[in-house]
């Protein structure tokens, strides 16, 4: 086994078996690799003290763990203890799915658990389900809006149409069952 400096780098070579670099620290201490530029320690990749999770730490900016990969496969972005396969913690948009720089959709969760799914440009939001689509509103109503204008509200056993007009355009029969 040899460890040599090569063009300013570090090389670990073993000619007869697998070559590896092992960082061995006590369980209550961190084991990590520092990525530095000049006098600045920019990033660390390693293991937090008292943890076996792989983490990426922003050491020069927000001084926070920005990525955690737990043993067992759970991944956290902005959180060190993900409790699902992927957990993203942030106080602004948590997820952005992009087609290009202008076409995208975002998902954001607010402090009261209010959730917004938004599309950019004039993009439609389509729910394409092989089964049923269920809207389960424990508050008792579902409201449809165009920007800030309420079009109609479904609440309990009534439909409230904001314009006052309800038009049913159907090819077959309309059955009202008051049973």
What pLDDT does residue 76 have?
94
Q: Tokens 């049973």, residue?
A: 179
- Written as six digits, the tokens of 95 are 């997820």
Residue among 99, 93, 134 at smallest CA distance from 115: 93
Task: Convert the pLDDT of each residue in 67-84 to its tens digit.
Answer: 999 999 999 998 989 999
Angle (CA) 54-56-62 rounded to 5° is 145
What pLDDT does residue 2 have?
58
Model confidence at 95, pLDDT cuts 50, 70, 90, reads very high
Give dist(CA 94, CA 173) in Å, integer.
46
What pLDDT does residue 85 have?
96
Give dist(CA 144, CA 163) in Å, integer.
12
Give dist(CA 4, CA 79) in Å, integer.
37
Task: Convert the pLDDT of each residue in 103-150 to its tens digit.
Answer: 999 999 999 998 999 999 888 888 888 988 888 888 888 888 888 888
DSSP line for 93-153? --EEEESSSS-EEEEEE-TT--EEEEESTT-------SS------TTSEEEEEETTEEEEE
Name which residue leads in pLDDT, 40 or 90. 90
Q: Are 48 and 55 in contact (CB under 8 A)?
A: yes
Task: Convert the pLDDT of each residue in 13-57 to its tens digit.
Answer: 777 888 777 888 888 888 888 887 777 777 889 988 888 899 998
DSSP 48: -
User: Does residue 154 surpass a pLDDT of 90?
Assistant: no
């Amino acid at each position: 086994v040899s460890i040599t400096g090569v063009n300013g780098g570090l090389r670990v070579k073993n000619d007869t078996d697998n070559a590896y670099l092992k960082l061995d620290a006590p369980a209550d201490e961190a084991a990590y690799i520092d990525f530095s530029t000049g006098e600045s320690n920019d990033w660390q990749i390693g293991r937090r003290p008292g943890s076996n999770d792989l983490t990426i730490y922003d050491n020069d900016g927000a001084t926070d763990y920005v990525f955690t990969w737990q043993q067992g496969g759970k991944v956290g972005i902005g959180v060190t203890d993900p409790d699902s396969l992927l957990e993203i913690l942030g106080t602004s948009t948590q997820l952005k799915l992009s087609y290009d720089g202008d076409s995208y959709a975002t998902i954001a969760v607010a402090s009261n658990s209010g959730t917004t799914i938004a599309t950019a440009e004039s993009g439609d939001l389509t729910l394409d389900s092989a089964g049923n689509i269920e809207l389960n509103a424990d508050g008792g109503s579902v409201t449809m809006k165009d920007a800030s204008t309420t079009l109609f509200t479904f609440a309990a056993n009534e439909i409230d149409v904001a314009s006052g007009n309800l038009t049913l355009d159907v090819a077959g029969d309309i059955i009202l069952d008051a049973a």
